[in-house]
Amino acid sequence: MPERRRNAPIVGRIAVVAVVLILLLAMPSPVRAAPYPPLPIGDGAILLGNLSGPVLAPGASGKISFSVVDPLTASLAGATLTLAVYAFNAFPGNATSTVPVSGAPLLSNATSSAAQVTVPVGALAPGARYVGQVGVATSSTTPVGAFAVRTELDFTANGTAYRLQSRGWFTAGQWAAATEGSNGTATLNLSVLGVSGVLPETSVVVASSTFPWILAGLAASGTILVGLGAWFYFRRTSSSRSGTRKGADDQ
């Protein structure tokens, strides 16, 4: 009888652990977002084109221009374009930091003004084009430098949801895992990124009256090329088997 009493606490603890394990196993696992189906590499720069950001003096305002084109054989429904200021590269010195910084530019659509805005593109028939702009406002305290602007395009085609994002939405580790092959060769694995394609980026350059404007333009071009690099490397000039039509030659 004493032996049974000594074993009783041990048996009780084992029973409690077993109940906890059963409850943990019965709990639903965290839901992971399913990756978006991939589109042919290069479609990102066809879907989102003519992307250009302004060069502004502190306190001035301007526009980011863009166009959205449907290169598919199916119509796009519920298309939306999101733009967000996400990184800052100061002049001089090239001290890069993430946003927010004091006085960072604000983007604006028809209803709101913030570091991130969404433009409702709506429905597009195959080959149709939507041309739009997003307002950019700086303040007198906006620092001189380049503010990187990332992009995201969402739409539905044939009942399937698609999402394309630019480089700025991914960490350095995520991007490296998707673009570096095991033998050191360059690649672009959209399934690793979990998106349908990669979009170009742009920047808002803030330059004082004493800053060389040509250097500001070069800085803006460098930021844009970061987002476009993957597309230029992987661009396909022939029609895809998924029904994507070849876009017009770039000018």
Q: Is the peptide bond before 37 cis (omega within 30 degrees of 0)?
A: no
Query: How much is the pLDDT for 90?
Result: 85
The domain ranges of the chain are 43-234
8 A C-beta contact, residue 76 and residue 159: no
Query: How much is the pLDDT for 94?
Result: 61
Q: Is the peptide bond before 54 cis (omega within 30 degrees of 0)?
A: no
Q: What single-letter amino acid sits at 173?
A: G
Strand partners, 162: 155
Kindly report, residue by residue over 39-88, the tens digit of the pLDDT. 998 899 999 999 999 999 999 999 999 999 999 999 999 999 999 999 99
**214 membership: H or E segment, kind and range:** helix 213-234
- What CA–CA distance (Å, rounded) separates 168 from 166? 6
Strand bridging mode 197-199 / 160-166: parallel
pLDDT at 125 over 90: yes
Quick one: average pLDDT of 212-241?
46
Q: Which of the pair, 100 or 237, is modelled with greater confidence?
A: 100
Query: How much is the pLDDT for 80?
Result: 98
What is the chain's alpha carbon radius of gyration, rounded to the nearest angstrom? 25
Quick one: average pLDDT of 7-12?
44
Q: Which of the pair, 2 or 142, is modelled with greater confidence?
A: 142
Quick one: average pLDDT of 108-112?
93
Query: What is the length of the chain?
Result: 251
pLDDT at 203 over 70: yes
Strand partners, 113: 108
- Domain 43-234 superfamily per CATH: Immunoglobulins (2.60.40.10)
Query: How much is the pLDDT for 14?
Result: 35
Range list of β-strands (E), the chain: 48-52, 55-56, 61-69, 76-90, 96-98, 106-108, 113-114, 116-124, 129-137, 145-157, 160-166, 197-199, 202-206
No. of H helices and E strands in the chain?
Answer: 5, 13
Give the Cβ contact number of residue 86 at 10 Å.
19
Query: Chain-wide mean pLDDT for the chain?
Result: 77
Query: How much is the pLDDT for 239?
Result: 39
Query: How much is the pLDDT for 29?
Result: 34
